[in-house]
Structure 1
């Protein structure tokens, strides 16, 4: 575990109910046809998270601070507005998915109305943030998420998915009818915009003034590679389990049978364990999302990013309330979670453009600016996600 660092928290943040649900729906509805989209998402996550963490390591600044410091006057106001809008809207939708996913888990265990669990979970998350002791709870929940992930990986091997079909899906680049929103959601649940702000802030806060930069950069890349790679493999295992349990048997994925994919390993206990894992993943992300939004908005506005700061508290409380609203308006649970991931995917290009711009600023990054390959991959990621998002928007009207 010595090679793992801040990026492991990023992995735990994106392996939330959105990833579980979206990967399950992708595998259950399209088999292995969208494996290529998952691989693209993992590569994109590594490229962008490496940039964000390098920014924090070199400058000691979070992403929001670094972005806004580069502009003045009207341009600065526009940059602040775009950052706040993107993260605020994205995290509100994402928070709705987090609360819905965790509530779905509790509802599966104890029954009751989903909206009641949403309010209870929001109260628990808020209490943890207000107490300042959320880190201890977060570690315990990360442990539960990793336990759930281990079961998915074990189940994948027991279920024995067709490796040839996985390879075909990895290189087919197919876009089955009606799957464009699912592709956007797969990207949005893996390359989470708020994680770019979270990663940069965590690395910046842990940065040492007398650090050996070359050594720190090497360790940072190893940490990012291992952590994001682990997250990608976990997501692939979920997709594979769903493809084997649902797509291969032509069974429709629904809220009441979503845990069926764990049956080969856990038998009658599959739904119970799945519910516990979904609750754990959702509560972990329900704490992280408003916290990351508070870091981002505080950084953009020049406020003190501290849990005891009233303005900082106001930001995460606003995101929490927005999440409650999204989760309580009666949208079907799986649809709400899928919408949150799609919203993230559509907002990603905005944040990615700002990140790439910042990483090419020599006065800020010195000799650690982006190289040709980083800019090339970053540009391709922005172009692909933007094109896919535009295609989806146009398809809604024509």
Structure 2
């Protein structure tokens, strides 16, 4: 199952970098891959888990977002080092490291994780289309198949243009939510206390379920595959250690800056859910429709401003779904090429992935007669699955980046090993506990 080509060959080593300028100029030339990775940390899956977490449990789960974001920065920095130091992406490294049967199992899990990610994108986009244009959910889900043609059109302009488009959409989402949280007037002291750990996150099954959904939506498996490949788009010298070291330095800075923005947006989502819904009948609140309606009918805003606020929210949701479509497609290509060395036309790869994602959504809509609540429940379950699939991505990442033969001087430091193995063990234990508790209640 060894890959015989460069990772994402069409963009590998195609974006020039500033090699002689000041540090700030060099950083600017490396900014971009982190934007595409950050998209996965603020997709519709994050929206629903963060908003439901805020609606049901107030600001308690801000600590989980903080912890997840710090862990994400560490893990993404590991993928950066892997991609630049070895020239392999994580899928290629995994297929080289494991025997063929085991690598095949890991490939299937990676593909399922990408489908779960795509489910969130489809649901988010379909709901946004319904909110903006009153398009039925099942029609909106089918319309999202056309995303493939939009992506193919954008990719014709080059990878740097894709990064710029994604950056503009992220900035748009950030501005919208800063404004909307300001209007929602959250309790600042309670919000700050939410960044402190609480034992109820572990002891309360309902909180744990949402917490794992937040982890699954924050640290996403496909992002680890994605980042290890797209950092290789920059034109650093592949044969010089000092050039690789500089590329790693600036790529990690890019990653941390963009993930910092994603952290802020995720906190804003949870704070918005808590400020508007906490203390109410939270079992019936915290979804996209609830937030849209609450903004639309907010007494402090008035009819006109309420309509503007709710429309901005729906536009941000649609932008988020489209952003995630771009990165999900690229990650799917990396996984398929890296694990089984199979290259498909981008449009065919996208149609297959999107078709597999739409199927459970359509079945859910038919069975539950177009229930909006059931759609949002399916989205939360998709994020919990991502959390369960995460260790199958983290273990190969840890083993590969700690292999001196592969990494050379860029091998993991001791503290990185401690943190990554702790994440793997803790997350696995929590997942087993959650599955056991869920079956006990059936």
Same fold by TM (over 0.5)?
yes
> Which residue pairs with 1:165 in the alignment?
190
Shift, 1:141, TM fit = 5.3
1:1-398 to 2 correspondences below 5 Å: 2=28, 4-71=31-98, 75-79=99-103, 81-123=104-146, 125-131=147-153, 132-133=155-156, 136=161, 139-140=164-165, 142-173=167-198, 174-175=200-201, 176-209=204-237, 212-250=243-281, 252-259=285-292, 260=294, 266-304=305-343, 309-310=344-345, 314-330=348-364, 332-398=374-440
In 1, the alpha carbon distance for the partners of 2:145 and 2:209 equals 28
Q: What count of residue pairs does the alignment treat as equivalent?
A: 388
In 2, the alpha carbon distance for the partners of 1:204 and 1:137 equals 15
In 1, the alpha carbon distance for the partners of 2:166 and 2:77 equals 25
Change in CA separation of 1:87 and 1:316 when aligned onto 2, cut-off 3 Å:
farther
Equivalent residues of 2:213, 2:384 under 8 A apart: yes
> Which residue pairs with 2:371 in the alignment?
none
In 1, the alpha carbon distance for the partners of 2:117 and 2:97 equals 28
Instruction: State the SS of the aligned residue for 1:284.
Output: helix
In 1, the alpha carbon distance for the partners of 2:379 and 2:337 equals 27
In 2, the alpha carbon distance for the partners of 1:258 and 1:4 equals 33
In 2, the alpha carbon distance for the partners of 1:339 and 1:207 equals 40
In 2, the alpha carbon distance for the partners of 1:65 and 1:141 equals 26
Shift, 1:339, TM fit = 1.5
Residue-by-residue CA offset, 1:174-193 (whole Å, 9 max, x unaligned): 32441222111100111010
- Unaligned stretches of 5+ in structure 1? none
Change in CA separation of 1:146 and 1:326 when aligned onto 2, cut-off 3 Å:
farther
Equivalent residues of 2:114, 2:222 under 8 A apart: yes
In 2, the alpha carbon distance for the partners of 1:16 and 1:188 equals 12
Instruction: State the SS of the aligned residue for 1:187.
Output: helix
Shift, 1:202, TM fit = 0.1
Larger Rg: 2
Shift, 1:272, TM fit = 1.2
Equivalent residues of 2:37, 2:327 under 8 A apart: no
Instruction: State the SS of the aligned residue for 2:236.
Output: coil
- CA RMSD for the aligned pairs? 2.3
Q: TM-score, normalised by structure 1?
A: 0.90
In 1, the alpha carbon distance for the partners of 2:227 and 2:360 equals 26
In 2, the alpha carbon distance for the partners of 1:222 and 1:208 equals 16
